[in-house]
Structure 1
């Protein structure tokens, strides 16, 4: 497998890759003279061939096209004395011995022009940590963090082009001028750029010497915006013949703005200077500097139908319109400390700039000290639709009425029993008939055709209806009149569901659904409470909890209709048991084709054991590994003899054609976030396998973007949410970019019938789950640890102070690692194999707690993020406690992992289980333990909670005690305080690890890392 990284160099995206397969001599140092070759960098031709084959089609993999150029790059990378330090995605261990620093390495690379790089960046496969390091399940390549970062920049560039935030320029990057598109970055766009620069992984700027992240980002954004604009523009901006070298420079420049070659050779210097200065002034005017205080505009609605609207002017701190001080109050003497000395002069200057964005504001400039405008309804409508969005995007404050931007007219659908039916009659299929009525509404007020016709005749863009102001336009009124014309009739259940999912149209969205009986329960998302209960199948060995029985009823109901669903119960609530009971239940009526279950490799054994435990009558065939049935006849015979076929995502991708030729009752995707990227090959492969119905199991239906929900729903019910482009326009962009509550409600209504989500913290769902008791365990350092801590700190702060850019960030992260190792144990830092006893306060505390746990007859999970530390702890604790201690880490095979889990879960099994946080933080059921200890912290609450949930889940009958070790008056305590202060934002603050600390000043780092007086015990 290759891990593909990205750097921005010479106006192009540079792609290079690490080969994760071991090669002889790869970890040794390079040649003594010159820049050494990176020992495990992949050859450029191999990288080009691999990228050309995926993740999308050949058309979407331009890195393999002729426009990609092979080159050698010199990169500044984190290194030790033995060689470069591998990236986290590679799964390699860092070279042993020697300190860490930044060194130069030569790598073969592909240089891809921006326009060709955009399709690749837009179709990266998802990061799947479970299958990434499985030899049988791993993809051929995976993007590194740097390449994913450039994908975010690429999407930002596309968004700027879509919103028209670009201007054409005459650029001079070399001797020949070029026609280029450049972004206009003001207001929120400028703030977003600053955030992107702060989040840049250091490897993104590893090429081309030391460069600040803001400069690299601007170069990349300029290039990607130019590429996105050329892709979005028509082939020609002006008609006629292609201009020749003797044509006017302006004509040649216009042609070059969409041509493949942007250069303008033979341009006369004087003519190029004149055109460049004019275009530069245009861009500069659009980029007028945003000050700390900005103009603010408040639109106030009239009290009555005939009263005028008011636009109030004022000033507010940039980005804080809620603190607006109206101009009238400024003139009356109100002077907050943030106001400048001449506030009214600033306000007038701001208004003069704002007029360029919304010319109707020019009326205010007639006054020497403008405070506001009294306007008509048409003016207010123009401001709402055009002026307010433009001003807000440029960084001005805009305050609008609470109803502004929300849907005005809406469509309400009412479905009831068909003639002769009963209110709660059973819904047995998608072809069942129901009566349907459509009403045009504003809030709770229903508009009849006469009212709509009157509104259309008045042609007023803003109208007051039932005491509520509503935005109207011709398209919306025409759609409302059409809807009013089809008031009622009959439709099938399938057609009703389609209406709900489509959510009306853009002019007249569906804002309410009322239905009777079980159909109403399904459409309201309450079907699991009111559907006809399905009894626990007789072959199920165990007892389903009430909420699990409701889940089984919901699954059976959807399956009976031929619909797919997403069982999104919280982790540990028994999705596996509900699925197995569904398979057992449907076999009570006779033979049923088998179910194909696709899951990460680490869960194959779990499904085998759970099926044997809960549903021993089910015939299970595992289609995975080198011994799987490969021949078509042989595979078909094995499937015919099975009720449940379990395979992995990697195997499903490889064997998709053979699996697609077989008959399946359903396809189930466990950990369905693995198919959240709709363009990834494994997502396409799983969707290509036909089945009567489909089921997705996941505790996280949305991890990062709503597009992930669309991808999972597209698997469950193909086509039900419409094309991805329409979903993005209808739901994703309004919700993610603007926080649109109406769009969010519409999406919940559209997906609610097919998503069942229950949380284990909800006492109405499960009331007998034991408590989770979390506590901090405060540890002190030994004198030896304190001396080492000070020595590391003094040495590394000196290095940090003397370095900049990538090298400085590398030194900061290396300091973090070394100080955390000191807090664990001196032998962990030194790696010298020296004795452990009596040298670490944290180890002494661990010994004490472990001894108490063993003495009480309990079991404990002990998590560490460092494999080297776990390897030191296992033999030491086993000897001190006189008990076997198990040790699970990423280097173990699946078989060995399963053996350890089974051994620990046994009644007579070992009482202490050491686990690597990365290898064992997800996918394991370890309820035999009722103690969880985090010896060293990952500083990401979500990751720690996931690891804790190995024990705190269904099946746990005792309270779970969670201990998090923190060394007093060290960086561990100070980072813990920062996390606690920002608990609500913790995931966004530390979600990418500890890189955010690398951007702090040296003085701030000194405060963060300093050893306090209470550190030594």
Structure 2
């Protein structure tokens, strides 16, 4: 058997072998098991030509012989071994063969790598990872009187560095009497990183000089040349002065290692290691009756560190600091001690750790760890300290589980053919659970008796405080199984749970299980395209039809919230067609939408469901009173607008509607408006809301739409705000967000066209931010407008402030568009706006490619200025659609743009044309000025990026650099995570900023003006 060992010595990898078999047991100082002969092994190709050396290694020794390594198997040893120096024959590998060996060593079948070699293999992988991420910097160093060019790592994870130091086997640093692990690690990692970079960076970096070679090549060029070649040596020339270049590069490296902002003290809670005393408190195999008070204290640790406030990933453990391994961090020791002193007032348990002059951690028992989790950690975080907790913290907690089983035998999750009655009975059982494990009464009482705040259950740590335990015991004293109606079960799911004892799981079968499923459309059998539907539904649309049909059967409303372009209209018309497949004549459907969509619904109904009888209730000639009831009786689908529905609500309420459908249902987002109240007052068996943006600005908008679809299901608006809206919007409460998703997911079907599992043949959408400069005239006008408006805002009261802020935003956006847009003086357009110049260039490029573009602006007056200008510059007609365009003209413009083969530009007002149109002839979309609401912009983009589009769509969003447009865009990007999960974003939040914050957001930066 051959075991390979390695150490890093003299800047190189040194390799030697440990063999079994006969050896010399004399008094020689040479290691009797050591060899450098790898002949006939898979290591041989890597060591050819390697230099031979003899190392002095300080190794464990027993009975006058080196202790064999663990890889050679256990050896009986009497007594404790000591340390002794042994001469070891070794091979010194060149950098590239060394790296190749380290990447292949563990795959060899005929050589066993020792722990020291395996560790260096790990370092090689770390070096390759750092090089691949670009976490390297070039250096110029003096080594033995020569200048050498080296690549050094930039370690952005000090915690990882500390782990590597602690993991280093002693044999790695045993040469020459032994060296500190951190020193060996830095040397080895630097050498391996240098090799890794040289293996991928092309040589030479600089282009080869052509023509006459100068007499003297600058030192900097020779240094760059040596950074990529096989040799790091920099050729010397007379009069070389390397000090300045070395100092410059050293300063660069020091800046990279230094935290990018102020430092703060950080506390990291480390849980006990399973298997050590106190590490397993209550495990699956352990008895619940185990008295934990008899166990040793759990070795919980709170580790101290310094962390960058601007970049939290910059993390320096206190243990490294006291070991002298953070010399580049200025005033680190003073910062740590001062911060710990401040934290002592919030975390009194720290006193025990501060008795030592070099505090680096605090050891706690289980109770102390729980106090840190529940009390100290929140206070420390609020006071500005860094706090890092285990991933399980705050997650696996005691909660309730509801199990229901239908009484009709439909236990598979399918919907019974007879439908589903909310008054039907279901069997139910409430259980207590921790994570996935249920807890019975005896177990709970044992936990309560032990009073253990942290318990390890089934391999995971769980928090159990006294309030939770008491709530759980109270819960167990009430009836926990029986029967109730499906409606009661639904309300129980929505409103169950509180902070002490939340609802964590629902297990239901049958129709009720389908209804509360997070993917209810996938649990239903997709319906085939109805015979009366003139077309073929896609698979996801067939699932959507099944979901709509299911809700209709159970008598509940829903929100079909598919993203724009996925065919909400087609799925709704298919629902109407499927109801009439067997010749039935169900009650008519009332569809309410914006005026701009009435014509679209008429055309889509004629195209997909030509047998449906459609009546448009709109305009001065519309039927009223008894004539209206008669007209509806002769119709299957009645189309009207929100305005007409509000005016004729009383008459429409006289009709017995099968369902009411609201398209672009965000029109109901303000629940208190006359329009929303009127629409909700129209009675119907079921209701459907169609919207691609169920939430634009605030969560109460979702409540308002749900109140239309299922009145009363989410409770009063005030209770909804208190339980969901305020905690989620103000505090980012994930538990409240999860409860809201659970409450709404049965009634909201949301699919995104960017999800390839939904639709795989839709082209890609590429979003590009186009940064434009201001002209000097724009910059001057911008600054003057800003100064004037900020002066007014600073002197305004709260009532005036909101209007002034929004007016300021509007004026500054107009300046960014064009001076003539703000001044409204009818002056010339050319040469005065960076945006206009860029728009003209892009439109010209699109037309030259034989393609079409949609250009959106939120200002109709600016569009009216752009249309004649672009038409004359591009020498092509430019179509223009805005709020004043009549319905007939609108339809003609859309038809012309879609049918004509010639390249063209369609200029559109965002408010008038941001929804309801299909303009797939365009594969370019330009947003000239931003609405600053991602949902609204995406809706407009979806005029082109929707089903029917066959080409990739490029979306360009114009931003003036150095202005409020750039800074507000950055703020929106930071808010997108929340916007995409539950909450959208609008412009109104800008009105809440202070004058100082407004000044920072709106200020004009020097880079705004083009040179």
Q: Scaled by the length of structure 1, what TM-score is found?
A: 0.59
Q: Is the 8 A contact 2:559 2:709 kept in 1?
A: yes
Any conservation in 2 of the 1:319–1:397 contact (CA below 8 Å)?
no
1:665 aligns with 2:658: yes
Contact 2:923 2:952 in 1 (8 A): yes
Residue of structure 2 in register with 1:441 after alignment: 433
Q: CA deviation at 1:885?
A: 4.0
Which of the residues 738, 748, 766 maps onto 2:741? 748
Match of 2:394 among 405, 417, 423: 405
Deviation for aligned residue 1:331:
6.2
Deviation of 1:578 (Å)? 0.8
Cα offset, 1:909, TM superposition: 9.8
Matches within 5 A, 1:364-513: 377-378=366-367, 380-406=369-395, 408-416=397-405, 418=407, 423=412, 426-427=415-416, 428-430=419-421, 431-481=423-473, 482-483=475-476, 488-513=481-506
What's the counterpart of residue 719 of structure 1? 712
Q: 1:354 aligns with which of 346, 349, 365?
A: 346
Could you tell me whether the CA contact under 8 Å between 1:796 and 1:811 is conserved in 2? no
Contact 2:303/2:317 (8 A) holds in 1: yes
CA offset digits 1:379-419 (Å, max 9, x no partner): 55455444443443344444444333335112233344548
Identify the residue that residue 151 of structure 2 maps to in structure 1: none
Q: Which runs of 5+ in 1 are unaligned?
A: 1-290, 1013-1017
Matched with 1:163 is none
Query: Following TM superposition, by how much is the alpha carbon of 1:352 offset from its aligned partner in structure 2, in angstroms?
Result: 6.0
Q: 1:770 matched to which residue of 2? A: 763
Superposed counterparts of 1:536-551, under 5 Å: 536-551=529-544
**What is the alpha-carbon distance in structure 2 between the residues aligned to residue 842 and residue 379 of structure 1?**
63
**Inter-CA distance 770–299: structure 2 relative to 1 (3 Å threshold):** closer
Question: In the aligned structure 1, how far is the partner of 2:771 from the partner of 2:304?
Answer: 55
2:586 is equivalent to residue 592 of structure 1: yes
1:576 aligns with 2:566: no
CA deviation profile, 1:182-215 (whole Å, cap 9, x unmatched):
xxxxxxxxxxxxxxxxxxxxxxxxxxxxxxxxxx
| Distance change (3 Å), C-alpha of 1:363 and 1:1000 | same
Of 435-444 and 338-347, deviating more is 338-347
**Per-residue CA distance 1:591-626 (angstroms, 9 max, x = gap):** 322222222233223223322322233333333444
Answering whether residue 613 of structure 2 is matched by residue 622 of structure 1, we say no
Q: Is the 8 A contact 1:660 1:690 kept in 2?
A: yes
* Distance in 1 separating the partners of 2:926 and 2:616: 35
Q: For the residues of structure 1 that align with 2:904 and 2:784, how far apart are their CA atoms?
A: 45
Alignment of 1:313-332 (within 5 A): none
Q: Is 2:544–2:571's contact at 8 Å kept on the other side of the alignment?
A: yes
Match of 1:889 in 2: 882
Q: CA RMSD in A?
A: 4.9
Q: Is the 8 A contact 2:778 2:832 kept in 1?
A: no
How far the C-alpha of 1:484 sits from its partner, in A, is 8.6
Per-residue CA distance 1:284-325 (angstroms, 9 max, x = gap): xxxxxxx96666555555535442555566665668877676
2:826 is matched with 831
May I ask how many residue pairs the two structures share in their alignment? 702
Secondary structure of 1:514's aligned partner? strand
Give, in angstroms, the shift of residue 576 of structure 1.
Answer: 0.9
Could you tell me how far apart the structure 2 residues matched to 1:402 and 1:650 are? 52
Q: 1:381 to 1:682 in 2, by over 3 A?
A: farther
- Helix, strand or coil: the match of 2:944? coil
Deviation at 1:1001, TM superposition (A): 7.2
Q: Choose the corresponding residue for 1:920, options 905, 913, 917.
A: 913
Seen in structure 2, the aligned counterparts of structure 1 residues 878 and 389 have a Cα distance that, compared at 3 Å, is closer
Q: What are the Cα deviations for residues 943-981 of structure 1, in whole angstroms up to 9, with x where unaligned?
A: 55433321221233x315537497xxx956999998998
Q: Which residue does 1:1008 correspond to in 2?
A: 1007
In 2, Cα distance between equivalents of 1:748 and 1:812: 34
Moved more, 605-614 or 901-910: 901-910
- Evaluate the alpha carbon distance shift between residue 879 and residue 899 of structure 1 in structure 2; reply closer, same or farther with a 3 A threshold: same
> Is residue 438–residue 484 contact of structure 1 (8 Å, CA) maintained in 2?
no
Q: How does 1:304-315 map to 2 (within 5 A)?
A: 304-305=280-281, 306=295, 307-308=297-298, 309-310=300-301
| Shift in CA distance, 950/450, structure 1 to aligned 2, threshold 3 Å | same
Q: Structure 2 vs 1, CA of residues 653 and 503 (structure 1 numbering), >3 Å: closer, same or farther? A: same
Q: Distance in 2 between matches of 1:827 and 1:403?
A: 55
CA distance in 2, matches of 1:744, 1:424: 26
Q: What are the equivalent positions in structure 2 for 1:56-71 lying under 5 Å apart? A: none
In the alignment, the residues of structure 2 paired with residue 621 and residue 423 of structure 1 have an alpha-carbon distance, to the nearest angstrom, of: 42
SS for the counterpart of 1:354 is: coil
- The 5 A counterparts of 1:231-310 are 296-302=266-272, 303-305=279-281, 306=295, 307-308=297-298, 309-310=300-301
Q: Determine if contact 1:827/1:835 at 8 Å carries over to the other structure.
A: no
Q: Where does residue 239 of structure 2 map in the other structure?
A: none
Q: Tell whether 2:689 aligns with 1:696.
A: yes
User: 1:564, 1:421 → 2: CA distance?
Assistant: 23
Distance in 2 between residues matched to 1:623 and 1:409, nearest whole Å: 55
Please say if residues 518 and 527 of structure 1, whose CA atoms lie closer than 8 Å, have aligned partners that are also in contact: no
Q: Deviations over 1:153-201 (max 9, x none)?
A: xxxxxxxxxxxxxxxxxxxxxxxxxxxxxxxxxxxxxxxxxxxxxxxxx
The change in CA–CA distance for 1:866 and 1:960 in structure 2 (over 3 A counts) is farther
Could you say which residue in structure 1 is the equivalent of 2:560?
567
Q: Deviations over 1:678-707 (max 9, x none)?
A: 444433333333321111111122223333
State how far apart, in whole Å, the 2-side matches of 1:501 and 1:745 are: 11
SS at match of 1:665: strand
Question: Do the aligned partners of 1:979 and 1:986 also contact (CA within 8 Å) in 2?
Answer: no
Q: Distance in 1 between matches of 2:334 and 2:301?
A: 25
Q: Which moved more, 1:372-381 or 1:449-458?
A: 372-381
Of 543, 548, 561, which aligns to 1:555? Answer: 548
What's the secondary structure of 1:429's corresponding residue? Answer: coil
Shift of 1:562: 0.6
For the Cα contact (< 8 Å) 2:765–2:954, is it kept in 1? yes
Do the aligned partners of residues 321 and 425 (structure 1) sit closer, same or farther apart at CA in structure 2, a change above 3 Å counting?
closer
Shift of 1:533: 3.5
Which whole-Å deviations, capped at 9, do the CAs of 1:130-172 have from their partners, x for residues lacking one? xxxxxxxxxxxxxxxxxxxxxxxxxxxxxxxxxxxxxxxxxxx
Deviation at 1:567, TM superposition (A): 0.7
- Aligned residues of 1:425 and 1:517 also touching (Cα < 8 A): yes
- Residues 990 and 396 (structure 1 numbering): CA distance in 2 closer, same or farther, change over 3 Å? same
CA distance in 2, matches of 1:553, 1:1003: 50
Q: Does 1:959 align with 2:951?
A: yes
Partner of 2:670: 677
Aligned residues of 2:591 and 2:661 also touching (Cα < 8 A): yes
CA shift in 2, pair 1:605/1:442, >3 Å: same
Alpha-carbon shift at residue 732 of structure 1 (Å): 4.1
Q: Contact 2:762 / 2:947 at 8 angstroms: preserved in 1?
A: yes
Q: Secondary structure at the match of 2:915?
A: coil
CA distance in 2, matches of 1:972, 1:473: 53
> Which of structures 1 and 2 has the larger relative contact order (alpha carbons within 8 angstroms, sep 6+)?
1
Instruction: Say if 1:313 and 1:767 are closer, same or farther in 2 by CA, change over 3 A.
Output: closer
The Cα shift of 1:546 comes to 1.8
C-alpha deviation, 1:552, in angstroms: 0.7
Deviation of the 1:844 alpha carbon: 6.2
Q: Tell me the distance in 1 between the aligned counterparts of 2:456 and 2:997.
A: 55
Aligned-partner Cα distance in 1 for 2:441–2:509: 26
Q: In structure 1, how many angstroms separate the alpha carbons of the residues matched to 2:767 and 2:1000?
A: 33
Relative distance call for 1:346 and 1:680 in structure 2 (3 A) is farther
Q: Which runs of 5+ in 2 are unaligned?
A: 1-260, 273-278, 282-294, 795-804
Residues 312-321 or 741-750, more deviating: 312-321
How far did residue 490 of structure 1 move?
4.7
Match of 2:258 in 1: none
Report the CA distance shift for 1:909/1:1002 in structure 2 as closer, same or farther (over 3 A). closer
Structure 1 SS opposite 2:657: coil
1:115-264 correspondence to structure 2 within 5 Å? none
